Structure 1
Amino acid sequence: MTAPLILVSDCDLPGTVIEDTLRQAGLRAERAASGSIDDLAVLGADAEGLVVQWAHITADVMDRMPNLRIISRVGIGYDMVDVAAATARGIAVANTPSYCIEEVAAHTIAMIMTQARGLPAYDRAVRAGTWKAVDARPLAVRPSTTTVAVLGFGRIGSIVARGCRALGFRVVVADPYAAPDAVREAGCELVEIPDAVAQADLLTLHVPLTDATRHLIDGPALATMKQGAVIVNTCRGPLIDEEALAASLRAGHLGAAALDVFAGEPLADDSPLRDLEQVLLTPHAAWYSPEALADLPVHAADNIIRFLAGESVPIVNPAYAAR
């Protein structure tokens, strides 16, 4: 009996860990020449599993892969996969939600604290020869009088919320799927999204990117925020309308932003965000540690292995099974 074929559409991580892990489990594994529909179709006609990092897996791609049973994303987000199309075709979509929880939460809290204490501005001032403690920008806050608003109380958002509470911040949470008791037990207050945005001194985003959440933070939402408020995003870039964000920062309404993710990556050379001193930028690095780098490709391959063995995996579209 021929072993199932698993196709890797693309992966910019070093080495061949995905393929090696699949082959060690007795599966066949091949990597496409690129993530284009034609290159995927060359090898994918017989594939039962697909591992994807950045390639866009559309309905047309799936139709060229008639035996496909599962798509496994190398990462937490899965907006590059047309999940509705997969569900309609009875194809499971899995992600790797646990490989970098600690890292992203730590990066987020680091960004929050960096801005809450005005560290970038202090650093620039000292390097320029100014030694003045009372000129922090945009903030130098006392946590107990400062509100952190956390949008999303999942694996990462809940850790960030608890961490901020441990540091003394007042924390409000907006998540329609969060259990109220869990939010209260974390010492946080559950509110609606507009209220969280309006109350925030520091706003941090931890929600999936969907049609409903794309540009969740747009011009009108930014206008409701406090003068001098700060936004942190280590989740998905398109949650924020970057043009509106830049305009609010230039106008002096928002105080600062700390961003690890962007609508287009790498961040374009002509992005207005690059020219704003009050924006702290990191290169989609919140996920990274040597341990996370080692875990990620293994987790993506394990999703395929376990699914084909009939075991539980983190499926994001459980309705696929009804098709």
Structure 2
Amino acid sequence: MKIVITDLDQERTTEEQAVADATGAQLVREQALTEEEVIAAAQGADALVVQYAPITRAVLEALPTVRAVGRYGVGVDTVDVKAATALGVAVCNVPDYGTEDVSDHAVALAASLSRGIVELDRSLRAGTYSLAPVKPLHRMSTRTFGVIGLGRIGSATARKARALGFTVHGSDPMIAPGTTTADGIAVRTLEEVLAGSDVLSVHVPLTEQTHHLLNAGTIAQMRPGSLLINTSRGGVVDTAAVVDALETGHLRGAGLDVFETEPLPADSPLRQCPTAVLTPHASWYSEESETELKRRVVENLVEVLAGRTPRNILNPEVLPGGSGG
């Protein structure tokens, strides 16, 4: 049983190796970033663990021994799930490992921007001992916090924002507007959440439907002087539109942990926006979440290769009997 890590931007593979050793699997680490590199590196593999490498139909067809693909994380936008399903390859992710961590980060960005923390720090270091750079500030209890996407992470973010005193509402295409979630979050239409939020936090996967969900048109529907938080996927937000809204002041600030191109290019105009708080795709991380992610991604693959149903699988129909986990 051979498992190939196609690419990984971290040094250690202690957790992955421990799972492999316990099951007698051979674990091979590569750093393949293109289709051609993945095909060359993964010959004879029974399963792949992928971070950013493209797992396309061409890759899967060139690797006929591969029976399962595991993605480090929640999103699988670099994996052709449809092609994998057609070829009988299981696709697994770890959808809940970072729920607490990402929602913590989203709320931390929102709170930091709401209180002007970063701007005050920068101005103080520059010699300005004044509140002027951030006036006016408002109590969180007078502000409305909107959440787009009320899945695991969005719901956790909504609960935490409410605990800080925000009035919270949200939108989700799978939940009818006018209803209330089990956590007591009022569900509105997307347009209502855009127009009625002082802080807007985005928690949706990157798909054809959500690409540039926040664009010039939808940002224009947001309240003047509102804050935008994105800890989901960079492609959900149109960078140029955000930069323009920050420069005109339509957006008072933006807290961005993910970007359309990662790492964030040195010449990105976001770097020149003083009211943007930028973090390097860090919201997923804590020592606890990292350990859990690395262990579970390999555990899923081992289960598939052993003929069992893994804890997390996106296309259970490829398994014997077609049963889900």
Consecutive unaligned residues in structure 2, runs of 5 or more: none
Residue 43 of structure 1, CA deviation: 5.0
* Alignment pair present for 1:52 and 2:50: yes
Work out the CA distance in 2 between the residues paired with 1:154 and 1:167.
20
Find 1:110's aligned residue among 80, 96, 108.
Answer: 108
Instruction: Give aligned-pair identity as a percent.
Output: 39
For 1:239, give the aligned amino acid.
Answer: V
- Secondary structure of 1:168's counterpart equals coil
Aligned positions, number: 318
The Cα shift of 1:231 comes to: 0.4
State the alpha-carbon separation in 2 of the partners of residues 294 and 197 from structure 1. Answer: 36
- The alpha-carbon deviation at position 62 of structure 1 amounts to 0.7
Tell me the alpha carbon deviations over residues 265-287 of structure 1, each in whole angstroms, 9 at most, x when there is no partner.
11001100000100001111111
Residue 125 (structure 1) aligns with: 123
1:61-107, CA deviations, whole angstroms, 9 ceiling, x for partnerless residues? 01111132211001222111112222222222111223222211111
Contact kept, 8 Å, 1:32 with 1:39, in 2: the verdict is: no
Q: Secondary structure at the match of 1:314?
A: coil
Q: Distance in 2 between matches of 1:123 and 1:7?
A: 45
Letter of the 2:198 counterpart: D
2:263 matches 1:273? no
Q: How does 1:139-218 map to 2 (within 5 A)?
A: 140-178=137-175, 183-218=180-215
Correspondence for 2:315: 317
Question: CA offset at residue 120 of structure 1?
Answer: 1.8
Map 1:240-255 to 2 at 5 A. Answer: 240-255=237-252
Cα drift, residue 54 of structure 1: 1.1
1:126 partner amino acid: L
CA contact (8 A) 1:10 1:54 kept: yes
Which residue is equivalent to 2:226? 229
Alignment equivalent of 1:239, drawn from 236, 240, 248: 236
2: CA distance, partners of 1:61 / 1:138 = 54
Letter in 1 for 2:294: P
Alpha-carbon spacing, 1:177–1:317, altered in 2? closer, same or farther (3 Å):
farther
> Which residue of 2 is the match for residue 297 of structure 1?
294
Kept in 2, the 8 Å contact 1:173–1:183? The answer is: no
TM-score by length of 1: 0.91
Residue 230 (structure 1) shift:
0.7
The 5 A counterparts of 1:3-18 are 4-17=1-14, 18=16
- Report the counterpart of residue 61 of structure 2 in structure 1: 63
Structure-2 separation of matches of 1:70 and 1:189: 39
Q: Is the 8 A contact 2:141 2:166 kept in 1?
A: yes
- Show the counterpart of 1:101: 99
Aligned partner of residue 149 in structure 1, secondary structure:
strand
Query: Offset of 1:187 from its aligned partner?
Result: 2.9
Matched residue SS, 1:255: strand
Change (3 A) 1:123 1:51: same
1:22 corresponds to: 20
Provide, for residues 165-187 of structure 1, a one-character-per-residue CA deviation record: whole Å limited to 9, x for no partner: 11221111111224889944423
Question: Per the alignment, in what secondary structure is the counterpart of residue 284 of structure 1?
Answer: coil
Partner SS for 1:195: helix
- Give per-residue Cα distances to partners, 1:256-312, cap 9 Å, x unaligned: 101111011110011000001000011111112222222222121111112233033
Q: Could you tell me which residue of structure 1 aligns to residue 80 of structure 2?
A: 82
2:45 partner amino acid: A
Is contact 1:138–1:278 with CA below 8 Å preserved after alignment?
Answer: no
Asked whether the 8 Å contact 1:119–1:136 carries over to 2, the reply is no
Name the CA distance, whole Å, in 2 between partners of 1:140 and 1:186: 28
In 2, distance between residues paired with 1:138 and 1:91? 55
Distance 1:109 1:33 in 2: 34
Which residue identity lines up with residue 92 of structure 2 in the other structure?
A
Residue pair 2:68, 2:89 contacting (<8 A) in 1 also:
yes
Residue aligned with 2:134, SS: coil
TM-score (norm 2): 0.90
- Cα RMSD for the two superposed structures: 2.2
Contact 2:179 2:186 in 1 (8 A): no
Question: 1:223 Cα shift?
Answer: 0.9
Structure 1 unaligned residues grouped into runs of 5+ = none
Kept in 2: contact 1:117–1:139 (CA 8 A): no
Instruction: Judge conservation of contact 2:176–2:187 (CA < 8 Å) in 1.
Output: no
